[in-house]
Chain A
Amino acid sequence: MKRYSVFAVAREAARYHTGWERAWKSPEPKKKYDVIIIGAGGHGLATAYYLGKNFGIRNVAILEKGWLGGGNTGRNTTIIRSNYLQDPSAAIYEKSRSLYEDLSQDLNYNIMFSPRGVMMLAQTEHEVRGYLRTAHANALQGVETRFIKPDEVKKLVPIINIDGPRYPVLGALWQPRGGTARHDAVAWGYARACSDMGMDVIQKCEVTGVRQEGGRVVGVDTNRGAIDCDKLGIVVAGHSGVLAEMAGFRLPIESVALQALVSEPIKPCMDVVVMANTVHGYMSQSDKGEMVIGGGADGYNNYTQRGSFHHIEETVRALIETFPMISRLKMLRQWGGIVDMTGDRSPILSKTPLENCFINCGWGTGGFKAIPGSGWGFAELMAKGSSPLCDEFSMFRFREGKFIDESVAAGVAH
């Protein structure tokens, strides 16, 4: 692989950009791999990357039914933060956030990480108390956050209306090292690095069955033939239930639609990410100038990647009260993704009842921020059978009552 650098740009500029090579290969599937990862989204690719980088396992295939990063990786609102309440969450999300900091250098691919700061507004007394508690928990966990007063909120976000009639801004939980990154680039960067290590990223390859013998996985059936493997990692987000059914076990997960939308591009007006969880809305400004807006998930099972319009309406209605200046903005695009929701709103990174089959799912509405940390931990789990980052996130925690309860702590928006 030729490295990307300022010299490479200069060299290619001098010869009319004829020397760029493909970022990743498009190989035919082999008969057998040591490890197969189902799903070439961020989490699947990151898992493969750290399997190769940290554990030297490079005979790996990543199977993708659509195109690279075409699912939730390319549909989220790109927020990166780690201000969670529970220790296991803080550990994996903070690992992830810290990996994002030098991911561009690590992958030699510009993921445009922008640590612009993430602010979660407290708009009720209850939320103030909740975020004060989170700030204290974060201090113990080594996650840098602090609770800021309304005047500091206004200083950081001049376009905000802090005296809203229904939900005035009473303060905010501020994580200065949080931010955003370019979501497609995260998938592309990992795919390029995986391909460079000799792994096969195989697109348009849909898994149709999980083959097993004597309680252990031996391979998968795909629309491009059967492929054998020693270990299988299922990293398919919204379709986890479908794959689990193929593998013969059940999950405590329901798949629902989550929507996002962007406005027409405007001049720079807000250089932090603002989340308003009481009113179900969050907003940031992309490098192109679009206001990127997300809200709460729909309430019923859905695989269509389309959501209900009234949720968009509720989100925008709430944000207009908080940011009056966006009321005249035209919205350019709206889309939906299928998110896999667990009961405690925490992910599942786990062994499964099927031996040598592992599952990484349940990231729900907040998976993008976790991509590097999730890949790091899940690769360790697949390689060694245990990982300090993942062990608390077992799929068997529900039966034991060991929930990692973030549904209240983190609010609805991620």
Chain B
Amino acid sequence: MLILECPYCGLHADETELAPGGEAHLKRFGPGSSDDDFEGYLFMRENPKGVHFERWRHANGCGKWFHAARDTNTLEVFGTYSAQTTEPPQDIKDKISARRPGWTWREFA
């Protein structure tokens, strides 16, 4: 059972309380963008075996969206952080680096 700490209400919520929201930090492209950018935003997805960043919602709790950093290969959770950011905060990156030296994910490392 996956357990994530909601960064807003501080609860350690198990996954029956949470709703998965897919890949984090998507760059949005709309009308006027190139076909490549639009396809990438709408359909292409990161699918790493290892470090991954996701959006989650504390659906059966405080109802807030937040971000989580996980390892899809071990189900280890590195940490959760606010939804009000376009990239993972440094302390989360440091936690991942301590456990997975040399990790990269999209443009982040």
Interface size on A, residues (CB 8 A): 24
Query: Is A308 within 8 A of B44, CB to CB?
Result: no
Q: Which residue of A lies closest to B56 (CB)?
A: A300
Residues of B within 8 A of A310 (CB): 1, 15-16
Query: Is B39 within 8 A of A398, CB to CB?
Result: yes
Residues of A within 8 A of B72 (CB): 255, 301-304
**Given A301-B54, A310-B16, A399-B35, A250–B49 Cβ distance below 8 Å?**
no
Query: Is A254 within 8 A of B75, CB to CB?
Result: no
Q: Which of B9-64 contact A (CB under 8 A)?
A: 15-16, 19-20, 22-23, 35, 38-40, 42-45, 47-49, 52, 54
Residues of B within 8 A of A240 (CB): 47
Residues of A within 8 A of B38 (CB): 399
Q: Which of B65-90 contact A (CB under 8 A)?
A: 72-75
From A252, A299, A398, give the contact of B20 (CB < 8 A).
A299
A54 to chain B, nearest CB (A): 32
**Given A308-B1, A309-B1, A301–B15 Cβ distance below 8 Å?**
no
Cα distance A242–B49 in the bound complex, in angstroms:
7
Q: Which residue of A lies closest to B22 (CB)?
A: A254
Residues of B within 8 A of A235 (CB): none
Query: Is A399 within 8 A of B20, CB to CB?
Result: no
Cα distance A303–B51 in the bound complex, in angstroms:
11
Q: Which of A191-248 contact B (CB under 8 A)?
A: 239-242, 245
Contact with B along A246-265 (1 / 0, CB 8 A): 00001111110000000000
From A254, A308, A309, give the contact of B47 (CB < 8 A).
A254
Query: Is B39 within 8 A of A399, CB to CB?
Result: yes
Q: Which residue of A lies closest to B48 (CB)?
A: A241
Cα distance A304–B52 in the bound complex, in angstroms:
14
Cα distance A242–B48 in the bound complex, in angstroms:
7
From A245, A250, A301, A399, give the contact of B52 (CB < 8 A).
A301
A311 to chain B, nearest CB (A): 10
Query: Is B44 within 8 A of A252, CB to CB?
Result: yes
Most buried by B among A239, A240, A300, A304: A300
Query: Is B43 within 8 A of A252, CB to CB?
Result: yes
State whether the Cβ of A88 lies closer than 8 Å to any Cβ in chain B. no
State whether the Cβ of A150 lies closer than 8 Å to any Cβ in chain B. no
Residues of B within 8 A of A411 (CB): none
Residues of A within 8 A of B20 (CB): 299-300
Cα distance A306–B42 in the bound complex, in angstroms:
28
Residues of A within 8 A of B47 (CB): 240-242, 251, 253-255, 301
A254 to chain B, nearest CB (A): 5
Query: Is A304 within 8 A of B39, CB to CB?
Result: no
A212 to chain B, nearest CB (A): 20
State whether the Cβ of A66 lies closer than 8 Å to any Cβ in chain B. no
Residues of A within 8 A of B1 (CB): 308-310
Q: Which residue of B lies closest to A304 (CB)?
A: B75
State whether the Cβ of A70 lies closer than 8 Å to any Cβ in chain B. no
Cα distance A251–B45 in the bound complex, in angstroms:
7
From B2, B16, B39, B49, give the contact of A303 (CB < 8 A).
B49
Residues of B within 8 A of A176 (CB): none
B107 to chain A, nearest CB (A): 14
Query: Is A399 within 8 A of B43, CB to CB?
Result: yes
B14 to chain A, nearest CB (A): 8
Cα distance A250–B42 in the bound complex, in angstroms:
13
B54 to chain A, nearest CB (A): 7
Residues of A within 8 A of B45 (CB): 250-254
Query: Is B19 within 8 A of A303, CB to CB?
Result: no
The 8 closest A-B pairs by CB, nearest first: A241-B47, A252-B43, A300-B20, A299-B20, A399-B39, A398-B43, A250-B44, A301-B72
The 22 sampled A-B contact pairs (Cβ below 8 Å) are A239-B49, A242-B47, A250-B40, A250-B44, A251-B44, A251-B45, A254-B22, A254-B23, A254-B45, A254-B47, A255-B47, A300-B2, A300-B20, A300-B54, A301-B52, A302-B72, A303-B73, A304-B72, A304-B74, A306-B75, A310-B16, A398-B42
Further contacts, 12 of them, CB under 8 A, given A253-B45, A399-B39: A241-B49, A242-B47, A250-B40, A251-B44, A251-B45, A253-B47, A255-B47, A300-B20, A303-B49, A304-B73, A304-B75, A309-B1
